[in-house]
Amino acid sequence: MEISVYIIAFNEAEKIKDCINSVLWADEIIVADSYSKDETEEIAKSLGAKVIQIKFDGFGDLRNKAISHCTKDWIFSLDSDERCTKSVRDEILSIINSAPLDIYKVPRKNFFMGKWVKYSGWYPNYRQPQLFRKGKMSYDLKPVHEGYISHSEKDIGYLTNSIWQFPFKNTYEVIHKANRYSSLGAKKLQKKGVKGGILKGLMHGLWAFIKHYIFKLGFLDGGAGFVIAFGNFEGTFYRYVKLAEIRAQWKPPKSNTIKDKN
């Protein structure tokens, strides 16, 4: 059996090399780039990856278009900030040759603020299934935090070994992601008919903080756990404020032309 790896990317020149290098063992590497303005495309091509330019219209749409370009029997999804490890490679290669199932989730081990995060809901940190037979899985069209659609009658499997994820290089990226994802999340809530507001945002934000810092034991991760919890508060809070902004269409008062001195 042969395997395709697809990687979604946008302005990931600093991360794409290590990501691709971790899957050079694959039979095909597809980089789904959304017209990066840095050297992402050039770096990917220099490493032998096939680069497909896809206009960003939400992560679900992006992923569906990416897998449509994959030609092998199996597909492995990897984001630019993720790295496949040798143990995961070996497990994948053993699975695809005699797989009892069609779809598998992969645990992720996150490195943040100089340490491996053990709690905060970040380990084991599963997202959508990342290993699946071609044609057995697709994604819904949510703009962010997209779900998956199984086209298999079999259960979902789980890999034992973990890939690595480096979600943020620095605090700037934490803030940038909270800003970007809160905007996408506001549009997602708008489609559901949800109403926004500052008080609503505050309440949902506080719950997001408490959930990650207390119930998911983020306090055991020290400073990194607090930043993770606070980042979830911030992203959630601004999601509802931006939703209110979308619905209200706030505009400044009209300015009058003043010519006379009196």
Q: Phi first, then psi: give them for residue 93, nearest 5 degrees.
A: -65, -35
Confidence check: pLDDT of 237 > 80 = yes
Contact 196, 247 (CB under 8 A): yes
DSSP string, 72-94: SSEEEEEETTEE--HHHHHHHHH
Confidence check: pLDDT of 60 > 70 = yes
- Give start-end residues of each CATH 3.90.550.10 domain in the chain: 3-165
Confidence check: pLDDT of 262 > 70 = no
CB burial of 65-89 (b: ≥16 within 10 Å; e: otherwise) equals bbbeebebebbbbbbbbbbbeeebb
Structure confidence by residue, pLDDT tens digits, 191-235: 899 999 999 999 999 999 999 999 999 999 999 999 999 999 999
Give, for 238, the enclosing helix (H) or strand (E). Answer: helix 222-248
Give, for 110, the enclosing helix (H) or strand (E). Answer: strand 108-112
Confidence check: pLDDT of 261 > 80 = no
Q: What is the pLDDT of residue 258?
A: 86
| 170: confidence class by pLDDT, cuts 50, 70, 90 | confident
The length of the chain, given as a count of residues: 262
Q: What is the pLDDT of residue 10?
A: 95
Give the global pTM: 0.85
Angle at 217 between CA 155 and CA 182, to 5 degrees: 75
Interatomic CA distance for residues 72 and 168, integer angstroms:
31
SS3 (DSSP) at 153: coil
Interatomic CA distance for residues 1 and 54, integer angstroms:
28
CB burial of 16-45 (b: ≥16 within 10 Å; e: otherwise) equals bbebbebbeebebbbbbbbebeeebbebbe
Confidence check: pLDDT of 169 > 90 = no
Interatomic CA distance for residues 232 and 234, integer angstroms:
5
Interatomic CA distance for residues 210 and 207, integer angstroms:
5
Interatomic CA distance for residues 79 and 64, integer angstroms:
14
Q: What is the CATH architecture of 3-165? A: Alpha-Beta Complex (3.90)
Would you state the structure tokens that stand for residue 78, as one six-digit string?
């990897």
Contact 113, 25 (CB under 8 A): no
DSSP, res 213: I
